[in-house]
Amino acid sequence: MKVWAPVEYTGVAELRGPLIVVQGTRNVGWDEYATIVLESGERRHGLVLDVDRDIAVVQILEGTGGLRIEATRVTFTGSPLHISAGTGWLGRVCNGRGRPLDGGPPIFGDDSVPVAGFPMNPTVREPPAEPVITGVSVIDALTTLVRGQKIAIFAEGGLPYLELAAQVAAQAHTGGAPFNVVFAAMGLTHSDAATVRDILERRSSAAELTLLLNLADDPVIERLLTPRIALTVAEHLAFVLRRHVLVVLADMTSYCEALREVSAARGEIPARRAYPGYLYSDLASIYERCGRIRGRAGSITVLPVLSMPAGDITHPVPDLTGYITEGQILLAREVTSYPHIDPLSSLSRMMRAGVGTGRTRPEHLDLAAQIQAGLSRARQAGELADLVGESALSPIDRRYLAMAEAFRTRLLVQRPDEARTLEETFDRAWDVVSTLPRSELSMLGEEALEAGYRGES
Amino acid sequence: MGTVSRVNGPLVEVEDLIGAAMFELVLLGPHRLPGEIVTLRDGHATVQAYEYTGGLAPGDPADRGGSPVSALLGPHLLGGVYDGLLRPLTDAGPWLNPAAPTPASAARPWRFTPLVEQGRTAAPGTAIGRVEDASSPAYLVLSPGGEVSAIRQAGHYPHDAVIAVVGGTEVRLTRRQPVRLALPYLSRLEGTVPLTTGQRVIDLLLPVCLGGTAAVPGGFGTGKTVLLQQIAKWCDADVVIYIGCGERGNEMADVVAELAELSDPRTGGRLSDRTVVIANTSNMPMMAREASIYTGVTVAEHFRDMGYAAVVIADSTSRWAEARREFASRSGILPAEEGYPADLASALAAFYERAGRVITLGGATGSVTIVGAVSPPGGDLTEPVTAQTERFVRTLWALDRDLAYARHYPAISWRDSFSRDADALTHGAPENAARRARVGGLLAEADRLTALAELVGAGALPARERIGLLAGRLLREGFLRQSSLSTLDAYCPPERTALIADALLTILARCQDLIEHGVPVASVEDRDFSPILRAKESPQEEILARRDTVLDDLETLR
C-alpha cells in the first residue's frame, strides 16, 4: 500500500484539449484519480493517463475550460478511482461521475471498490440462463434477454431507441426474484434526458433503479467513467447482495466519441475512422462485466444501446459491439411503427438457455423459429409481389403475407407505456402463427399445436 | 534491481536494469507484475506488462526475472484452464486481481513409471518415463540426451521432484519453457495425413492435413466460434489446445462446460481430458493476450514431441494482432496499414510456421495443426490481418454472411474458401478425389445457374440446367448444412460423409437420366426428397434405405 501523501502540485506545464500536464510529481501511479483546484476554488477531477519520471499527464473529466497554467493546483489520491458501493445508490439520480443530481446527500456505501473492476475468472462463470422479461412482446418472444448475457440495441438515425431502452428499464423483471436496474445515460440531450427520467420515475421512486445522467452538454470526458460506475454499482448488487441486475448503457456511440477525443488529444495513432486501436478492448472491459458466478444467486445483464452513425452497421462502434455482445436487437426505419424492431436482423444467441419449459413456455423456441421462418418467407413473397403484383402470388404466399401483417399488428406494435405479460405475448404469438395453415407449421410439435393453434386446420 | 521511470498503460519503461536481455521477464512494482522486455537502449528497458498497471508509479522497483517469458509445462496441463501465461485459473478466485496472484498448480503428486534403466543411454527426445494418471493421452517425460545416471522407481512424485538425471541434467516432471522460441525437431514431413474434423463440408471439400494451417475469417454472427468449438470437440487429434484470445467470457464458460460433459468418440474418456484451454477473455489484460497465442503453440509443440497429433485452435488471431498494434502505438513504432506495425505479416507468418508434421528429436512422428479465427472489422476481408493471413495458410474456411443469414451453418463459403492440401490428401484415395470433384463441380455449376435464374427465371432454363439447380439445393440442404446441436449430426465420421455424398450423387444421376428419357423436369423437381435430406440426422445404416426410397419414388415417373 502506498502511503497517502496529500502533496499539492502547482507545476502545470501544459493544457491541451482535455489534458493537463503536471511537472515535478513524485510517486504518482498510472490510472490514479486526481483532484484539480482552480484559483476560484472550483474543484475538478481527473485520471492519470501517463507518468514519465516527474511528469504526469492527467485527463480532466470536466474539461480544461478556464484553467490557467499559473494558478492550478493538482493533488493525487494515491490509487485508481474508487466509489462506495451499496444499496444507497438505489432510487438515486446522479451525474456521470456519480455525484447526486437529485438534491440528496452524497452516497455512502458498505464497500470502497475500484470502478475499473477486476476481470471475472472465466472458470467461475456460470453460463447465462433464465430470462429477463422486458414486457415488450417482440423482444420477449423472439430475442429474449437471458440473465448474465450482453445484448445490444442498434438503432438507425431518428428512431426512438432511448424510449425503448427506458421502457425496457422501467418494465423489466425476473418473475419475482430480486431485481434492480442501473441506467447509465451518456451524451443525452436535455429533452431526451427528461423523457427518460419521466419513464423511469416510478421505478426510481420505488428504489429499484439507479440513474446516472451525463448530458450532451456535460463534460465529454466524464462519460468515460459513467458506464464503469454503473457496472461497479451493479456488481455489488449482483454478486454481494445476490440480486438480478439489468444495466442499460445508452448511448455507447457518445461514449466512444469521448474515447476518440481523448485519444486524439494524446496524439495516438488512429485506427478505423480515427477511433483508437484499443476500442475493442475498451468496450470489452465494459460489456464483459456481465455474467453470473457459479454458486451465487445474482446476475448482471448488460444492454448497450447505440445509434448507428448514418445507419451503418459496419461503423466501428456497432461492429465492435456486435463482436462482443451475444446478439443484437436492430431498430430499422423500414419498420414504421414503434418499437421499430426488425425481427429478421435481430438475434439473441443465448436465447436457447433462457427460454423453454420452466422458464417461459415449452414451445417458446419452436414458436420463435416458426415466426422467424414465416417472416423470412413473407419477405421473399413481398419482394416477388413488388415485381409481379400480389395477385400473381400463389395462395400460400399470400397467406404468408397475411401472417407478416398479423405479426405487425398483433405482436410488434406496442405502446411505449404498455407492459405485456408473458401470457399476453404468447397469446398474440399464437394468433400470428395461426394465420397460416396448420400444415405449414413444421417447426412446432403436435402437442404444442394441439394446445395453441387456433386457425382452421 | 531497476527503477520504473514511465508508466503508460501496459507500456512501462525501466531504468538501470543492468545485464537484462531482450524478451527477458521483468517483475514490476511492489506486486511484482510480470512483464517482458521488448526494447533495450543504454540501460533503459521498455517492458510490456502482462497485468493491469493501475497504481504503478515512477520510482517503483523493477526486478529482472532472469529468463525469457516461459510457461510451466507438465502433466497437469490436460483438462485444465489457464491464462495467457499458463497460470492456472481453476484455483483462482472469482475476480482476477493482479495484486493477489494465483497459486501455482501442478501441486498434486503424479504417478511416474520409468521406461529406461539406469546406466543406459537415452537419446535426446526419447521417452524415459510416463505419467499415467494425468489424463488421456499418457504424458511422456522426454530425455535431454545422454547416459541415465539415476532414475526413480515407479511411484508418486511431486511435480518439482527430480525424477532422473540424464547426461548430467536433472529431469523433473514439469519444466519451464520459453514460449517465443519454437521447440526443436529433427525434420519436417509433407502433409499427407488428413485431420478429420467431423464437419462434412471441411472433410470432403476443404480438408486440412495434420501439420497444416487453416484460417477462418468471418464477421460477427457468422458462426465462427461455433465452428471452432465443433472442431475442438470432434477432430481426431490426440491433444487440442483451445485458445480463447480476447473473446467472450460466457463462450469460454460454455466450452469448458461442454467439453467436460462430452465423451470422446475414440477413447471413451471425457473430451476435456485431451484438451488444454487457455482463456484470455477480452476483459483480461491485453498484453497477456499477445502472449497467449505463443503459449498455446508451445504447449502443442510439447505434446508433438511426445509423438502426438496436437491441434491449436486460436479464437481470434485478430485480437492478438490488435494487442500488438496497441503496444506498437504506445511505444511510438511507425504504423503501416491501418495502424498495425510493419511486422504484422512476418509475425503472422512466423506464427503459422510453427505448425507442421515432424520427426521429433526422439524419432517419433508428431504434428501441430493450427486453426486460427480472424475477425475482420465490418466484415471487410481486405483488411490487413485477413489479407495477410490468407497468404500464409494452406486452408481457408471463409464464412459467408449471406449463408449465416439464411441459417445455413456451418456458413463456410464453397466459393471463397480454398484448401491447398486437398490434392495431396487424396493422393492415395482416388474415389475420394472423384467425389470431391463431382460435388465441387455441381456446386459451382449451381451457383452459376442460380445467378442466371435470378435474371431469366428458373422456368426459362432448359431441363438439364434445372437439374443443376436441383443439385445445388440438395447438396446444400442434404450435405453441406450440419447442425451443431443435433447429437447425430454434430459429428459426421468420414465414412458417413462419403455415404451421404454418394447417395446424393446417385440420386442426382438418376434425375439426370430421367429427364434424358423424356420425363418432364417439373415432375422430377416436385418429388419428395426429404428422406435423403434428413439422412444426416438418421443412423448410418438407414442412409442407403433412404436413398433407395427416393430412387424408387423417382422410378415411378418413368
Q: Do A27 and B58 touch (CB under 8 A)?
A: yes
Q: Which of A26-30, B323-327, B478-482 has the lowest mean pLDDT?
A: B323-327
Mean pLDDT of the region A155-168: 95
Asked if residues A81 and A115 have their Cβ atoms less than 8 Å apart, the reply is yes
Could you tell me if residue A3 is inside a domain?
no
> Which residue range(s) make up the domain with B133?
107-173
How close, in Å, is residue A152 to chain B by CA atoms? 13
Give the torsion sign (CA, B216, B217, B221, B225).
positive
Q: Which residues of B362-398 are buried (b: 16+ CB within 10 A; e: fewer)?
A: bebbbbbbbbbbbbbbbbeeebbbbbbbbebbbbbbb
Could you tell me if residue B269 is inside a domain?
yes
Residue B381 sits in the same domain as residue B253 = yes
Q: Pick A271's closest partner by Cβ from B246, B285, B338.
A: B338
State the pLDDT at residue A1. 44
Residue A67 sits in the same domain as residue A180 = no
Could you tell me if residue A221 is inside a domain?
yes
Could you tell me if residue A26 is inside a domain?
yes
A35: enclosing H helix or E strand = strand A32-37
Domain end: A37, A53, A80, which one?
Answer: A80
State the pLDDT at residue A267. 83
**Rounded Cα gap, residues B521 and B410, in angstroms:** 31
Nearest-CA neighbor of B212 among B41, B1, B396, B31?
B396
Asked if residue B36 has pLDDT above 60, the reply is yes
Residue B130 sits in the same domain as residue B269 = no
Nearest-CA neighbor of A290 among A302, A282, A280, A298?
A302
How close, in Å, is residue B86 to chain A by CA atoms? 14
Could you tell me if residue B539 is inside a domain?
yes
Could you tell me if residue B181 is inside a domain?
no
Asked if residue A220 has pLDDT above 90, the reply is no
How close, in Å, is residue B190 to chain A by CA atoms? 37
Q: Do A326 and B284 touch (CB under 8 A)?
A: no
State the pLDDT at residue B456. 79
Q: Pick A122's closest partner by Cβ from B55, B221, B249.
A: B249
Domain end: B400, B422, B444, which one?
Answer: B422
Tell me the HSE value of A142 on the side-chain side, using a 13 A CA sphere. Answer: 28
Residue B231 vs residue B328, higher pLDDT: B231
**Rounded Cα gap, residues A107 and A103, in angstroms:** 11
Asked if residue A168 has pLDDT above 80, the reply is yes
Residue A217 sits in the same domain as residue A296 = yes
Q: Do A118 and B97 touch (CB under 8 A)?
A: yes
Residue B160 sits in the same domain as residue B240 = no
Could you tell me if residue B304 is inside a domain?
yes
Could you tell me if residue A135 is inside a domain?
yes
Q: Percent of chain B, pLDDT > 90?
A: 68
Domain end: B117, B145, B173, which one?
Answer: B173
State the pLDDT at residue A5. 55
Asked if residues A223 and A254 have their Cβ atoms less than 8 Å apart, the reply is yes
> Across all residues in chain B, what is the average pLDDT?
91
pLDDT in tens, B535-544: 988 899 999 9
Mean pLDDT of the region B514-532: 91
Q: What is the CATH number of the domain that holds B118?
A: 2.40.50.100
pLDDT in tens, A423-453: 999 999 999 999 999 988 888 888 999 999 9
pLDDT in tens, B210-225: 999 999 999 888 889 8
Q: What single string gives the DSSP state of each residue in B274-343?
A: GEEEEEE-TTS-HHHHHHHHHHHHHHHHHHHTTT-EEEEEEETHHHHHHHHHHHHHHTTPPB-GGG-BTT
Give the torsion sign (CA, A416, A419, A422, A425).
negative
Q: What are phi and psi of A198, to 5 degrees?
A: -60, -45
Domain end: A353, A384, A411, which one?
Answer: A353
DSSP three-state, residue B6? strand
Q: Do A123 and B92 touch (CB under 8 A)?
A: yes
How close, in Å, is residue A333 to chain B by CA atoms? 20
Could you tell me if residue A390 is inside a domain?
yes
Residue A68 sits in the same domain as residue A170 = no
Q: What is the CATH number of the domain that holds A229?
A: 3.40.50.12240
Residue found by looking up cell 507500456 in the block? B11
Q: Decide if B413 touches A, using CB distance below 8 A.
A: no
Cell of A276: 483508437
Domain end: B38, B68, B98, which one?
Answer: B68
Asked if residue B254 has pLDDT above 90, the reply is no
Residue B324 sits in the same domain as residue B271 = yes
Asked if residue B426 has pLDDT above 80, the reply is no
Establish whether the linkage from the previous residue to B282 is cis, with ω within 30° of 0.
no
Residue B410 sits in the same domain as residue B436 = no
How close, in Å, is residue A340 to chain B by CA atoms? 20
Dihedral in degrees, nearest 10, Cα atoms B539, B544, B546, B551: 170
A246: enclosing H helix or E strand = strand A244-250
How far is the CA of A406 from the CAs of A73, A375, A385, A415, A418, in angstroms? 65, 11, 18, 17, 19
Q: Pick B6's closest partner by Cβ from A51, A116, A268.
A: A51
**Rounded Cα gap, residues B161 and B183, in angstroms:** 23
Q: What are the strands, taking DSSP E only, across B439-543? A: none
Mean pLDDT of the region B125-143: 88
Query: With helix as H, strand as E and coil as C, how does B256-273 read?
Result: HHHHHHCECCCCCCEHHH
Strand partners, A55: A52
Q: Do A27 and B59 touch (CB under 8 A)?
A: yes
Asked if residues A256 and A284 have their Cβ atoms less than 8 Å apart, the reply is no
B188: enclosing H helix or E strand = strand B187-189
Q: What are the strands, taking DSSP E only, across A125-236? A: 131-132, 145-146, 152-155, 179-188, 209-215
Residue A349 sits in the same domain as residue A251 = yes
Could you tell me if residue A1 is inside a domain?
no
Could you tell me if residue B209 is inside a domain?
yes
Mean pLDDT of the region A305-329: 93
Q: Decide if B100 touches A, using CB distance below 8 A.
A: no
Q: Do A281 and B221 touch (CB under 8 A)?
A: no
Asked if residues A247 and A311 have their Cβ atoms less than 8 Å apart, the reply is no
B27: enclosing H helix or E strand = strand B24-28
> Which residue range(s) make up the domain with A49?
8-80
Residue B160 sits in the same domain as residue B219 = no
Asked if residue A199 has pLDDT above 70, the reply is yes
Is B450 exposed, middle or buried, given 0-12, 13-18 or 19+ CB atoms closer than 10 A? middle
Q: Decide if B434 touches A, using CB distance below 8 A.
A: no
Asked if residue A111 has pLDDT above 80, the reply is yes
Residue A197 sits in the same domain as residue A289 = yes
Q: What is the CATH number of the domain that holds A57?
A: 2.40.30.20
Q: Do B378 and A28 touch (CB under 8 A)?
A: no
Residue B534 sits in the same domain as residue B404 = no
Residue A174 sits in the same domain as residue A257 = yes
How close, in Å, is residue A114 to chain B by CA atoms? 10
Asked if residue A332 has pLDDT above 60, the reply is yes
Residue A21 sits in the same domain as residue A110 = no
pLDDT in tens, B64-96: 999 999 999 999 999 899 999 998 998 888 898
Mean pLDDT of the region B111-130: 94
**Rounded Cα gap, residues B112 and B496, in angstroms:** 40
Q: What are the strands, taking DSSP E only, across A296-336? A: 299-307, 327-331
State the pLDDT at residue B380. 87
Q: Decide if B81 touches A, using CB distance below 8 A.
A: yes
Residue A35 sits in the same domain as residue A100 = no
Could you tell me if residue B503 is inside a domain?
yes
Q: Which amino acid is at A407?
A: F
Q: What single string gives the DSSP state of each residue in B136-166?
A: SSPEEEEP-SEEEEEEPPSEEE-TTSEEEEE
**pLDDT tier at B287, thresholds 50, 70, 90:** confident
How many domains does chain B divide into? Answer: 4
Q: What is the CATH number of the domain that holds B529?
A: 1.10.1140.10
Q: Pick A121's closest partner by Cβ from B92, B248, B282.
A: B92
Asked if residue A115 has pLDDT above 70, the reply is yes
Residue B320 sits in the same domain as residue B391 = yes
**Rounded Cα gap, residues A383 and A392, in angstroms:** 12
Chain B residue numbers with beta carbons less than 8 Å from the beta carbon of A342 are: none
CA B208 to chain centre: 11
Residue A375 sits in the same domain as residue A230 = no
Which residue in chain B is spatially nearest to A276 when comparing CA positions?
B326
Residue B196 sits in the same domain as residue B164 = no
Q: Decide if B335 touches A, using CB distance below 8 A.
A: yes
pLDDT in tens, B375-395: 998 888 899 999 999 999 999
Could you tell me if residue B213 is inside a domain?
yes
Residue A244 sits in the same domain as residue A373 = no
Q: Which of B43-57, B74-88, B126-140 has the lowest mean pLDDT?
A: B126-140
> How many A/B residue pairs have CB atoms within 8 Å?
171
Residue A284 sits in the same domain as residue A375 = no
**pLDDT tier at A457, thresholds 50, 70, 90:** low
**Rounded Cα gap, residues B18 and A76, in angstroms:** 32
State the pLDDT at residue A354. 92
Could you tell me if residue B179 is inside a domain?
no
Could you tell me if residue A345 is inside a domain?
yes
DSSP three-state, residue A443? coil
Q: Which amino acid is at B285?
A: P
**pLDDT tier at A331, thresholds 50, 70, 90:** very high
pLDDT in tens, A290-303: 999 999 999 999 99
Mean pLDDT of the region B481-491: 89
Cell of A200: 423511469
Residue A302 sits in the same domain as residue A273 = yes
**Rounded Cα gap, residues B504 and B523, in angstroms:** 18
Mean pLDDT of the region B507-534: 92
Asked if residues B532 and B507 have their Cβ atoms less than 8 Å apart, the reply is yes
Nearest-CA neighbor of B139 among B123, B115, B117?
B115
Q: What is the CATH number of the domain that holds B324?
A: 3.40.50.300
**Rounded Cα gap, residues B218 and B403, in angstroms:** 11
Chain B residue numbers with beta carbons less than 8 Å from the beta carbon of A262 are: none
Residue B460 sits in the same domain as residue B402 = no
How close, in Å, is residue B455 to chain A by CA atoms? 13
Q: Percent of chain B, pLDDT > 70?
A: 98
Residue B121, by phi and psi: left (phi above 0), alpha (psi -120 to 50) or beta? beta
**Rounded Cα gap, residues B14 and A345, in angstroms:** 50
Is the ipTM of this structure higher than 0.90? no
> Across all residues in chain A, what is the average pLDDT?
92
Q: Considering the entire predicted model, what is its pTM? A: 0.91
Q: Which residues of A368-397 are buried (b: 16+ CB within 10 A; e: fewer)?
A: bebbbbbbbbbeebbebbeeeeeeebeeeb
Could you tell me if residue A269 is inside a domain?
yes
Residue B272 sits in the same domain as residue B359 = yes
How many domains does chain A divide into? Answer: 3
Chain B residue numbers with beta carbons less than 8 Å from the beta carbon of A149 are: 250
Q: Decide if B380 touches A, using CB distance below 8 A.
A: yes
pLDDT in tens, B165-209: 999 999 999 999 999 999 999 999 987 899 999 999 999 999 999
Nearest-CA neighbor of B558 among B507, B516, B504?
B516
pLDDT in tens, A2-19: 455 578 999 999 999 889
Domain end: A80, A101, A129, which one?
Answer: A80
Cell of B435: 467425389
**Rounded Cα gap, residues A184 and A212, in angstroms:** 5
Residue B398 sits in the same domain as residue B496 = no
When computed from its CA atoms, the radius of gyration of chain B, rounded to whole angstroms, is 27
Establish whether the linkage from the previous residue to B416 is cis, with ω within 30° of 0.
no
